[in-house]
Copies of this chain bind each other. A is one copy, B any other.
Amino acid sequence: MKTETTIQGLAASLNPSRAARKIIGFVPTMGNLHEGHLNLVREARQLCDIVVVSIFVNPIQFGPNEDFDSYPRTLEQDQRLLADAGCDIVFAPSVEQMYGKKPRLTNISVGGITDDLCGSQRPGHFDGVAVVVTKLFNIVQPNYAFFGQKDYQQLAVIRQFVRDLNIPLEVIGVPITRAEDGLALSSRNGYLSAENREKAPVIYKTLKAAEQALLLGKALSEVLAEMKTALTEAGFVVDYVEARTTELQKIEQFNEDLVLFVAVKLGATRLIDNLQVKYPAS
């Protein structure tokens, strides 16, 4: 496994594969890798000839009061995990390598589906994601790009701008990887105190209980209200509890497949999770 830190170095590493028309798979990450990321790499390994993983903590997707500076950077450990998971090339550029010295004037925004859920709490976040992912797509030029469904809204945003801009690749969404107790894996779980880590699986339990209630016929609005109560009583500060169609449109009743979304704060740590609930075939 090679590690490249420059765009030019990566191009040189990839050119022979490109010339040989190999299938390139790409997993963009911010590092501090866990089993969720590694499952993306394994998925890429199965589908592609060459697997590229980027590790880049992207400053422009963090708000001024967010955790850009403290976001965990664990390159050596990440490299070991990636080698084991079957990655061929790690792309770990500096901020200057990605954004240069001249000011960036270009922005990409995806309307509609970024206005609520995480978008309303994190203004500019999805613009920053869209810009960096577009840049990385243009640098790596993969055939397939792999993203986790844990960041469901992010995945929807990426699918949208890939389609709108005719970016020549296929986006693959990979199901959420969970700890044994149900907590969705996230680099930010590492911020949790031992006590809060024990409490965190309540998020998934709440989602599963809501799924059961919906399948038993309870009204969606009631289910969402109960989720909010359950989370608040368990000690979470609820940012949002929402239901959307799989395409992120608002939904009032459980009359088609839907996704339940939760964002909470536990101590200073913001955690998100979601669960797709299939509408039963009649």
Q: Is the CB of A106 within 8 A of B165?
A: yes
Option from B7, B100, B112, B141 in Cβ contact (under 8 Å) with A105 = B112
Task: For A166, give its contact among B19, B102, B108, B135 (CB under 8 Å).
Answer: B135
Q: A9 contacts the other chain (Cβ, under 8 Å)?
A: no
A141, B168: Cβ atoms closer than 8 Å: yes
Cβ distance A1 to chain B, nearest Cβ, rounded Å: 23
Question: Is the beta-carbon distance between A160 and B106 smaller than 8 angstroms?
Answer: yes
Query: CB < 8 Å: which of B102, B106, B164 contacts A161?
Result: B106
Check if B166 sits within 8 Å of A104, measured CB to CB.
no
A110 at the interface (CB under 8 A from B): yes
Instruction: Tell me the number of copies of this protein.
Output: 2
Could you say which of A19, A106, A135 has the most chain B C-beta atoms within 10 Å of its C-beta? A106
Scoring A104, A139, A166, A168 by chain B CB atoms within 10 A of each residue's CB, the highest score goes to A166
Is residue A202 within 8 Å, beta carbon to beta carbon, of the partner chain?
no
By the criterion CB–CB under 8 Å, are A165 and B135 in contact? yes
Q: Mark A164-178, 1 if CB is under 8 A from B, else 0.
A: 111110000000000
> Which of B102, B107, B113 meets A109, CB within 8 Å?
B107
Interface 1/0 per residue, A204-234 and B, CB below 8 Å: 0000000000000000000000000000000
Q: Indicate whether A193 reaches chain B with its CB closer than 8 angstroms.
A: no
17 contacts between A and B (CB under 8 A): A7-B166, A19-B21, A100-B163, A103-B112, A105-B111, A105-B112, A106-B164, A107-B108, A107-B110, A107-B111, A108-B165, A134-B165, A135-B164, A135-B166, A138-B165, A139-B168, A141-B168
